[in-house]
Amino acid sequence: MLAIVIASSITVLSALNSNTQLLTQNKEPKNEVPLEFMNWNLTKKPPLEFYDTLIQSIVKRYPNLAKAYVIGHSWRERKIWCIELTSNVKSKESKIPIAIIGNIHGNEWEAGLATIYTAWWFVVNYNYNITARKILDNYILYIIPILNPDGYDQGVRTNLRPTDHNGDGVPFGDPPTDINGDGIISLMYTGAPDSKPEERKFLGYESPDFDNNGIPGDDPKQGVDLNRNFNYMWWRYDADTGYGQARALAGPFPASEPEVQAIQRFLITHPVWALATLHTGEQSVLWPWCYSPNPTEDHEFMESVALRMARAMTQVTGRGYYYTQSYYDYPTAAELIDWAYGRLHIHSYTVELYCPGTTPPSWVPMPYPFGKPAVWGNPIPEDNWTYVGHLEKWDNVWLRTRGYDVIKDLAPPDLELMLKGWIEASIVMIESEPSGTGPIVPDYIGWYDMPCACYNITET
């Protein structure tokens, strides 16, 4: 577990990988104290306030390197922050812009942590690490830690677009609820005290059945999967393609969601040479296309970068990462990386940082490219059955607590290695640019996206 405080130059330097070079003749000014990143005990998912506080602290402590602004809002009017990092050594016009985006899927909280860690690492190490200094002197980094703040707060993959899942006319009318106060949403069954698991009848998800329809938890707080909602090949997979499931939760129309509109508008008005969107659930680096088996015109270049990113993370973490065109991982449509490349010609990568358990997903390619299984190696507990008897309106109730739900908000073992591995991979991606023609914003793009309003935050 990562439970350290980084509060001195000695600790900062010890956090660097051994193969990086240090600046020895440009010490940090006496009035600039390295920012304390790990002053929270990160043994579990931090609240959204952690990010708000850290973003403002970075900007206040390092005003010559960082500024932050809001690029949009969620359904629940939560702010979507962008941290812009660069030095003042050169003009912005002469620098190469890069974007790093976290938590498009709200329940993949380690992705948001890795994204904010990126901002912290570069500003804290600017005066100590040659690579950090070279990058901020020659690049602009746009870092968006939490694209889906509502999903992050709720702990769900989707955003919170008001949705009526059970057809009673009331959105989110019966959300799963932690009745017994153990911090976990369990599955509810009925069965005799001496029954076997296979003999028990499934009722629904832990909930008092707010809508009184007899099915607990059947109207959850889940909206649209933002990574199926971008305005490129939306609903590409309909029933006759054989991949109908790929359009699930894609929203009522392309770019229907305020969170998706925010990042599309931002990238149109701030075109970048490359971007990475961070996820968990696998350990891989993917590139377009997601919707098609055909290669892009930059296939060989993005493949070579993905290979080196995956290798860097494997070397640092000691766990395996693989790389493949996203379609061959599994086909999807209207993902961010397809939109960014298809609309704006941005070299785009999905980086999957963490796969819990001891068995990789069934679709992971074999053999492993770097000789290590693409899984973190931490065991997932077995499901636990608890007989509670009477609960709310039901008798003979059993609660089934799934093993993954027990660990999903706990920090993975060796979390620090995951963060360091991502830093090495991000450096590979950043330093691969510029390559090719760079981003291209076509003339037609304004018809579906207006420029975004960004609000500068220079001090707290």
Give the pLDDT confidence of 391-431 residue by residue, as tens digits. Answer: 999 999 999 999 999 999 999 999 999 999 999 999 999 99
15-27 pLDDT, tens digit per residue, is 334 334 444 334 4
- So what's the pLDDT on residue 7? 32
198-247 pLDDT, tens digit per residue, is 999 999 999 999 999 999 999 999 999 999 999 999 988 765 555 555 55
Rounded Cα gap, residues 150 and 103, in angstroms: 10
DSSP string, 192-247: -TT--GGGSEEEEESS--TT-SS-TT-B-S----GGG-SSSSTT---GGGT-GGGG
Rounded Cα gap, residues 435 and 304, in angstroms: 12
Which sequence spans correspond to the domains of the chain? 9-156+225-373+413-457
Structure tokens at 276: 């990475």
Comparing CA positions, the residue from 303, 340, 336, 341 lying closest to residue 322 is 303
Q: Which CATH architecture has domain 9-156+225-373+413-457?
A: 3-Layer(aba) Sandwich (3.40)
Query: What are the two backbone dihedrals, phi and then psi, of residue 57, each rounded to the nearest 5 degrees?
Result: -70, -40
Rounded Cα gap, residues 387 and 396, in angstroms: 7
Phi-psi region of 309 (alpha: psi -120 to 50; beta: other; left: phi over 0): alpha
Residues of the chain with pLDDT under 50: 1-35, 450-460
State what percent of residues in the chain have pLDDT above 70. 85
Comparing CA positions, the residue from 124, 136, 134, 116 lying closest to residue 8 is 124
Rounded Cα gap, residues 409 and 155, in angstroms: 9
pTM of the model: 0.90
- So what's the pLDDT on residue 365? 78
